[in-house]
Structure 1
Amino acid sequence: MSSDKEQLLAMGFEPARIDWALKATKNSGLQPAMDHVLENSEKPVPTAEEQNIDVADDDDDAEALAAHIKKTGASDEQIAKSIKCSECGKVFRSQATASFHAERSGHQEFEESTEEIKPLTEEEKKAKLAELREKLAAKRAALRRKAGQDSGKIKEDLQLKEINKEAERKRREKIEDQKARAAIKAQIEADKRERAEKAAREKVAREGATLPPTTSSANPAPSKPVAAVKSSENPETRLQIRLSAGGPPLTKTFASDSTLVDVAEWVASESLAYNVDTVTFASTFPRKTYSREDMKKSLKENGLTPSAVLMAS
């Protein structure tokens, strides 16, 4: 045969409340213990020390009651059997339950009462038990919903982290791609510049060749002067780029037929603060901001040959 505790556990009561009820009723049986659980279902379970104090108080009250009856000869109807709250009229079986009511409600006025708190009927017990089970089921359902919500939030957070991680990866790939394209462009420009320099040297050498000496050694024919190259026609343009993002200026020599787009790609390869599609250039003398159409023109067409200082932003 199962014990009282096992039967109460099978009914779905909390172990702590069962232990409290068995101790409070001094293990007097299943029915008193269940009555105690139902009557105190809305109250917090007291600590072991508080339970010991309540049991001692009950024993003391019983002894005091017996002595009082013997001494005074008072009838049963004249003996206080409960404690009543003068402010709301509720009646309590013990000092402990009255104190709990005072803490929760803030009521301070109590008086002894001869009203006896009758035990619950079978129907009331069943109704109370059904109510407790319903509350327990609702509490468990709420816990399950909260657990599901927490799980959903964790899943959303993980998805957001993955999205941010993928966006960062694509951003790095874009930067690396820009740097690679800028490096290729720079190499192409270097090759073009080298070919232009070589052609310019060959042209100067051809135009500056000396005539063969005449038969008269006393009056040698003067050498043909080397053709001068106009500064605006110089095959090379030296640029100093001052960065609005901070840092030392950049200096580089470009072929004069290079465009400002070529210069923008080089700047983007040197500083990640700039994007080849959005960087703009401006000169201080003469003061000018170069448009997107100007970006497509050569350095010579923009009047930057043979040298210039530009602000990049």
Structure 2
Amino acid sequence: MDHILQHEGQPVPDLGAVSEQSSGRAAAMDVDEDDEDAEALRSLGAGKAGVAEAKSIKCSECGKVFKNTDLANFHAEKSGHDQFEESTEEIKPLTEEEKKQKLEELRQKLAEKRANKAVEEAKDHKANETLRRKAGKDLNKLREEVQAKEAMKEAEKKKREKIEDAKAKAAVKAQIEADKKARAEKAAREKALREGKAIVDASASSGPSTTPAAVAASAVAGKDFKETRLQIRLSTGGQPYTTTLPSESSLREVAEFLAAQAVTIDVDTVTFAQHFPRKTFTQADFSKSLKDLGLTPSAVLIATP
């Protein structure tokens, strides 16, 4: 009613024409929308068609192209490169001839590598062998020198021991002879006493004959011997003791040596005696050297506790 009142006096519009006009406007709007969708589809299709497909992987650092990611990863581990990108470059498969050629190249490289390694190993082996031989020669030379020195020392030791043994044997022999002579003199005196005859001093009668021996003994004692070899017997019996001391050693050192060997010996009370030539050494002689006492180069002493 309001519409009629507002448009009173105006002609009534044709409903058919209005319907056609509305339909035309709607169709035009549909055409525009279809054109926009088609344009969007065309642009989307064109965009998709313009995108290039990645066919390989390229190392950005050295430019090498790889067929797949496994080869690219192997290259990365071997070279340390970590910059890669997709590439449109297509890697064509090798022909049989190219495969053979590639295999032959790899074989040659491997043979060269092995040959170089063999040469280096031969050099190292030669150098090591040279060092080993030199060390062996030096060691053998040093061993020979040590053996020669030891042999010389052993020879000198045997020679010295031989001389000392000869001297000791001579001294023992002289002591035995002196003991035999003393026993003979004692037996002669006892026999003379039993028979009531006069006692003849054998030492006086044999004085001229023993003079050369005494002279020889004094001459030997006068030599400069650095060591003195002693054989010490106990008056109580038992095993004799032998030792070698410097000729400048005192008789007290001999007593100390004997006290260390036999528990029955006291350094302050022990005395020594020598049968040939006949001598007795008391505590007053303990401060004198073996050389001064005429015991060099060897002597036999009788110790009395």
Normalized per residue, which structure has more helix?
A: 2
Fold in common (TM above 0.5): no
If the length of structure 2 is used for normalisation, what is the TM-score?
Answer: 0.37
If the length of structure 1 is used for normalisation, what is the TM-score?
Answer: 0.37
- From the CA coordinates, give the structure whose radius of gyration is larger: 2
The structure whose RCO (Cα within 8 Å, separation 6+) is larger is 2
